[in-house]
Structure 1
Amino acid sequence: MNYFELFSLPTDYSIDKTRLSQTYRDLQKQYHPDKFAMQDDKTRLQAMQKSTEINDAFETLKDSCLRAQYILKLSGLDIELEQRTLQDTDFLMQQMEWREKVADFTEDDEDEIEAFSKDISKLVSDLEADIETALKNKTLEITANLIRKLKFMLKLQVELELLEEKLFD
């Protein structure tokens, strides 16, 4: 089943997250396995499978990177399990610089870490906007490369959050 259809949403990168969450709650109420506890094994299994599908769809659609990958997959380009690396040399050099910067941060760099974090968040937002445009233009390879960059940026954000917890908690 198409996740967008499951949630009665248009197949679009930009989605109504409030509507997504409300539909998720409604679907879970309807298909939650506890509602089928007194049913036969087949019905309970079907309810469990439907509930799992609903959860998977929700997790995919609420995450900008996973949603973009899913739209690509619907368009015939599946990059979810690929091992291919990005061929953008400038971006690869930038990755190395960012990683070195993160590795060099200390407890004395709280303001610099906060500023760097804001810069990365801005770059993530810019990439998401570029992904939306590329998807609308149906430029799948460009979209795939943007998603590869976004994946890195999101991992970098997580690393920054972990660093902040380690240094300041």
Structure 2
Amino acid sequence: MKIEKIFASFNISAMGLSAQRKRMTAIAENIANVETTRTENGTPYKRKIVVMRASPEGSFQVALRNETIGLKITDEKHFSVGGIEFFEDEAPISGVRAEIVEDDSPERLVYNPEHPDADENGYVHMPNVNIIVEMVDMISATRAYEANVTAFNASKNIAKDALEI
């Protein structure tokens, strides 16, 4: 067994923590710019969202297949019988790739003829940020972050207990 495989769960939790941190950063930026009607390019602020994708494609299926084969080749006393190929040549687990993209939903129009950014009809083009949606997303990201911390701590305790054997 390669020593890197022992730390795979740490890497998975760390990638989840990083992705959720990026998500919380985007949400905080959205909340901070909920009233920003003019950015550097002269348009209203566009809501940022985080899109998460498996990286590379199919790595979860490869990992699941390897673990299933690993279970099939051990007997009741957990000794390796051997003779089964472990698909080492396939793509390694690299987890989740999180990227920040702009939301393409339409901007809100608010009637306020006294606003300096009002158009000729008196409407102000406001950002496409809904504070209620952002708060729900923040709670969801926080819970996911906490779940990854819990998984990381569980993996740490398992590794520590294994070293004490």
TM-score interval, smaller chain: under 0.3
The structure showing larger relative contact order (alpha-carbon pairs under 8 Å, at least 6 residues apart) is 2
Q: Which has the higher helix share?
A: 1
Greater Rg by CA: 2
